[in-house]
Amino acid sequence: MGVLTGKTALVTGGSRGIGRAIAERLGRDGALVAVHYGRDETAAKETVTAIEEAGGQAFPLQAELGVPGDAAALWSAFDAQTDGLDILVNNAGIVGRRDRLPGVTEEDFDRIFAVNTKAPFFVTKLGLERLRDGGRVINISTVLTRGAASPDLIAYSMTKGALDVFTSTLAKDLGPRGITVNAVAPGVVDTDMNAGWLRNDPEAWRTSAEISPLGRVGEPRDIGDIVAFLASDDSRWVTGQWVDATGVALL
Ligand code: NAD
């Protein structure tokens, strides 16, 4: 019996990368996991199968985020499968086109805010009536909102900065219900999001690994394990926090 037995979790973007590692870890801990995906049904089903093969329970949940009505569509798909939620992980996100301020178009800005900020805001808002007292909201942020500015990721960083404010503010609102709200902030993690500049460039890989005294690039499971702590009862006295998940001693 795991520490999350009897709990239900929803992980947005749970079919690959960090979201998949979170979904698999929460499943191993005993939660019934809704593995949300946007378009890749095969990947979502693979994640569900991996959870089941490890002895857990999960189901895939489709909803495109960043479009009008996205949160309502997600919850209607969720309600068709189960009722009540204990752990909401707002993980789905896009990095968008890398460019400094002069190159960022209004379309780029609107799109990245729609997926990274507006979607988690309304997914959470509409999820509140399903989220049980004592529950958890965990938002996946980034190191870029604190101390590691990257000018060519200005719009992306702003979307996550807004998510950080959402996190600390919502924590005050939901505290009386025993619900904690925290942000987890990864640094460089080896996922498809970074495939272009990281995986195929040994020099980029080496410099990214050297940022951490632990001497390696982050792996999705490094983040999944931190999220698992925040999802568990062990973290009940931690709320409104931005939790460093970078493997870096000092930024
Ligand atoms: P990824 O690209 O592998 O995964 C992103 C997930 O979000 C995918 O499952 C994707 O399908 C989903 N998604 C994206 N847009 C969507 C949409 N419009 N509708 C529905 N689903 C959508 O990347 P990842 O690295 O696993 O990213 C997960 C989270 O971690 C993101 O919020 C990202 O900003 C954050 N993050 C990643 C890193 C890193 O280095 N990889 C660092 C800091 C923060």
Q: Does residue 63 sit within a domain?
A: yes
171: domain CATH number is: 3.40.50.720
pTM (global) more than 0.85: yes
Pocket of ligand 1 (CB under 6 A): 13, 15-19, 37-38, 64-66, 91-94, 115, 140, 142, 186, 188-189, 191-194
Residue 18: which domain range? 8-245
Q: Does residue 110 sit within a domain?
A: yes
Domain count, the chain: 1
- Among 160, 158, 156, 143, smallest CA distance to 212 is for 143
Q: How far is the CA of 58 from the centre of ligand 1 (A)?
A: 20
The pLDDT score that the predictor gives to residue 249 is: 73
Q: Does residue 197 sit within a domain?
A: yes
- Specify the ligand 1 atom closest to the Cα of 189: 40
Q: Supply the residue whose CA is at minimum distance from atom 31 of ligand 1.
A: 93
Q: Does residue 251 sit within a domain?
A: no
Q: What is the pLDDT along the chain (251 residues), one digit of tens a residue?
A: 899 999 999 999 999 999 999 999 999 999 999 999 999 999 999 999 999 999 999 999 999 999 999 999 999 999 999 999 999 999 999 999 999 999 999 999 999 999 999 999 999 999 999 999 999 999 999 999 997 789 999 999 999 999 999 999 999 999 999 999 999 999 999 999 998 899 989 999 999 999 999 999 999 999 999 999 999 999 999 999 999 999 997 66
Annotated catalytic residues are: 156
Q: Does residue 2 sit within a domain?
A: no
The pLDDT score that the predictor gives to residue 149 is: 85
- Specify the ligand 1 atom closest to the Cα of 186: 43
- Among 37, 244, 235, smallest CA distance to 135 is for 235
The pLDDT score that the predictor gives to residue 71 is: 98
Contacts 24+ apart (CB under 8 A), 109-114: 109/155, 111/66, 112/155, 112/156, 112/159, 113/155, 113/158, 113/159, 113/162, 114/65, 114/66, 114/67
Q: Does residue 250 sit within a domain?
A: no
